[in-house]
Amino acid sequence: MIIVMKPDAREDWVRAVIDRVEKEGLRPVLLSGTERKVIAVIGDERRVSEEAFSVLKGVERVMPVLKPYKLVSREFQPESSIVRCGGVAIGGKECVVMAGPCAVESEKQIIETALAVKAAGARILRGGAFKPRTGPYDFQGLQKKGLEYLQSAKKESGLPIVTEVVDPRDVPLVGDYADMFQIGTRNMQNFLLLREVGKTQKPVLLKRGMQSLYKEFLLAAEYILSEGNRNVVLCERGIRTFETHTRNTLDLNLVPAVKELSHLPIVVDPSHGTGRRGFVAAMSRAAIAAGADGLILEVHPAPDEALTDADQTISTIQFAALMKQLAAVADAVDRVLPSPSESVACG
């Protein structure tokens, strides 16, 4: 349930409501808005009636939350959330583009890519240091050395970094280098990992599982928020269907669905969503038109030489051309795509 406090509710009244929630064996989560405070009640609500809270001082109303994902739902927070990665806001009017190689291969490669995507208007640098692969003998990433190379690219370009964390034990290490954690599709329901990043306040880019329902996706986000970290950005990256012409089926239905069901921002990954370089531009344009808050794209100075995901990676030259197209689409749907000069350093 959600307990909505009156605009003039005193702090001691709010505290009394929180104390009552805890006394009932439930967990309160306080959200302070611009006009009033809202308390989400987490746990088995069947043990207590709504009336027990509605009679307390300062309570305006008590509302049941029908969705199993309480903190993620628009019932809990009607206003859309804005998540900040360094100096970049995700979820506002601006469509934020994250770009970079699937895997960090060398210091030279990641710095060259970072400078190129920034020049074209990207706001966040992506790159994998830890690479969970289907085959155990495939390239698994440079790991800590890759994180160090990402840090060098950040210093050269000023772009914040998003990179994947795959093991709960690596959260402190990756957190020392990254501005944003990425949780990949294979780890969407790695609940131990979700809880660990939830204990931090660092932004999290949560990718949808390759066979996950919308409800399951939002419940995965709920794990992170339930630990206290509200800085979550959702990512549609394609789902596995019976179609084999593309690597995955990019489900753009998820974008308006998330806008309806949740206050969290959502970005789209057309690289993994299609698995085909020639389709990336078209699906990027479609994602912005559908209302996505941004994109995450695989970009490499020499895509054919990329150690991972070469077939779905576009070149830095193709990326620059695409950004010009995306600016026109964003303008058509009353969004904005920043010009290259508006790229900011990480705060």
| Alpha-helical regions (H) of the chain | 11-23, 51-54, 107-120, 144-157, 171-177, 191-198, 214-226, 254-261, 270-274, 277-290, 316-332
- Partner residues linked to 63 by β-bridges: 2
Q: Is the CB of residue 83 less than 8 Å from the CB of residue 265?
A: yes
Nearest Cα neighbor of 335 from 295, 282, 291, 297 is: 291
Determine the pLDDT at residue 141: 80
Which CATH superfamily is 83-342 part of? Aldolase class I (3.20.20.70)
The DSSP symbol for 239 reads B
With a CB cutoff of 8 Å and minimum separation 6, the contacts of 237 are 185, 207, 208, 210, 248, 250, 268, 269, 272, 273
The DSSP symbol for 194 reads H
Average pLDDT per run of 10 along the chain, which is 347 residues long?
92 95 90 83 81 92 87 91 96 98 96 98 96 73 94 98 97 97 97 97 97 97 94 98 96 98 98 97 98 98 94 98 97 88 44
Determine the pLDDT at residue 222: 96
Determine the pLDDT at residue 340: 65
Write out pLDDT tens, residues 195-210: 999 999 999 999 999 9
The tokens for 322 are 């695409």
What are the extents of the domains in the chain? 2-63, 83-342
**Domain 2-63 classified CATH 1.10.10.10?**
no
Which stretch of DSSP H or E encloses residue 207? strand 204-207
CB atoms under 10 Å from CB of 126, counted, come to 30
